[in-house]
Amino acid sequence: MTRLLHVAAGAAQPRAWTRPFVARLRELGELEIVEYAAMLSDDEVAARIRNCDVLITSWGSRMTPATLATDPGDLRYICHLTGGMRDFIPLEMIDSGLPVTNWGNAQARAVAEGAVLLLLASLKGLRQRTDHIAAGQWRPSETEFRSSMMFDLPLGIYGYGFIGRTFVDMVRPFGPRLRIFDPFATDLPDDCERVESLAALFSGSRAVAIHAGWTEETAGSVTAELLARLPDGGVLINTARGAIVDQEALFAELASGRLRAGLDVLVPPEDLPSDHPARNWPNLLLTAHSLSQPFPKDYVSDEAFEPMHHICLDNVRRHLAGEPLQFRMDAERYELST
């Protein structure tokens, strides 16, 4: 029987390792879950992994020892249940040729939906409208705050990976003018304009949605100078990573009232003091990195499945059947995955 193994640094992460997901895995092979492996040495962890056929990693995994790249033992496949893997699987494993996959487009729809929500709400001044009514007022005057449409909107998209592609598909029916900056994308749709630099993206767009991965190149790449290129009333949407944006510069623009923003993410640790003025800015929507999370958090019932679970199970079945794997990782994707 195929031997499946998960090695957790502490307790197995409950959202990843739900009861029904574990039950389905045990239909495919003999599953062992090792917890609190942070207390084990690299040699002890490597010895355990060499005795399995498939290693399944996820949030909370113990880092896979790099020595397995040259001496994998019986290990034939690493299935990473979640997204970014740099904290759990070393690049040496990718370079070794051993097949490694991750969740691919599992989060694309949920994150893209969140970005569309924030974009529409920002364009329509939803927070200002609801705050106005909550304050005892009713219909606002036409000059009270900005409101605009997505139709014919010059909409910049920073990053055209799984989420960026899904976002484009979702907003296309609204009729914006789609402009994309992604130096790694080779197959842009005919109705999208390729933009050659971030400066050009921000200069020619009225709203920008960030879907780029967090890398050394993208960290802090949305600078004060770029934000200044957005027109008055411009909109910034970020459901990717907060550290891509110069947060201090963005907050200065928002405090002045010149720009609007919808932010699911902030610079780590992604929290604001309870008395931070940004919490009350009417031109800012904050959703606390929660738009892609499933609610309620039920990890026990038969419905406790997310797309990542289905993708993992499908790839394990493909591996057992000798079929091509989905979302196989290479060095370039490894660096871009966050």
Q: State pLDDT tens for residues 99-128.
A: 999 999 999 999 999 999 999 999 999 999
SS3 at position 243: helix
Looking at the structure, do residues 54 and 65 belong to the same domain, yes or no? yes
Angle in degrees, 0-180, between the axes of helices 307-321 and 19-28, rounded to the nearest 10: 10
Amino acid at 72: P
Say what the pTM is.
0.90
Looking at the structure, do residues 91 and 136 belong to the same domain, yes or no? no
Asked if the structure places residue 319 within a domain, the reply is yes
Residue keyed to tokens 């005057």: 141
Looking at the structure, do residues 273 and 130 belong to the same domain, yes or no? yes
Distances (CA, A) of 242 to 64, 186, 203, 211, 216: 27, 26, 21, 11, 13
121 in Cβ contact with 262 (< 8 Å): yes
Asked if the structure places residue 254 within a domain, the reply is yes
Looking at the structure, do residues 112 and 261 belong to the same domain, yes or no? yes
The CATH number linked to 17 is 3.40.50.720
Looking at the structure, do residues 281 and 304 belong to the same domain, yes or no? no
DSSP for residue 158? E
Render pLDDT for 18-48 as a digit per residue (tens, 0 to 9). Answer: 999 999 999 999 999 999 999 999 999 999 9
Q: Cis peptide before 296, with omega less than 30 degrees from 0?
A: yes
How large a percentage of the chain has pLDDT more than 90? Answer: 89
Asked if the structure places residue 269 within a domain, the reply is yes
pLDDT score of 296 more than 70? no
Side-chain-side CA neighbours of residue 15 (13 Å): 13
DSSP for residue 55? E
In this structure, what token pair is assigned to residue 256? 């002045």
Looking at the structure, do residues 59 and 179 belong to the same domain, yes or no? no
Render pLDDT for 173-183 as a digit per residue (tens, 0 to 9). Answer: 999 999 999 99
Looking at the structure, do residues 63 and 96 belong to the same domain, yes or no? yes
Looking at the structure, do residues 102 and 231 belong to the same domain, yes or no? no
Q: Give the DSSP per-residue string, 99-153.
A: -EE--TTTTHHHHHHHHHHHHHHHHTTHHHHHHHHHTT--SPPTTSS----STT-
Residue keyed to tokens 């989905």: 326
Asked if the structure places residue 159 within a domain, the reply is yes
Asked if the structure places residue 291 within a domain, the reply is no
Looking at the structure, do residues 147 and 51 belong to the same domain, yes or no? no
Burial readout 154-182 (b: 16 or more C-beta within 10 A, e: otherwise): bbbbbbbbbbbbbbbeebeebebbbbbbb
User: Based on the structure, what is the number of domains in the chain?
Assistant: 2
Domain coverage including residue 9 = 3-106+297-336
What does R_g of the chain's alpha carbons equal in angstroms?
Answer: 22
Looking at the structure, do residues 315 and 304 belong to the same domain, yes or no? yes
Asked if the structure places residue 292 within a domain, the reply is no
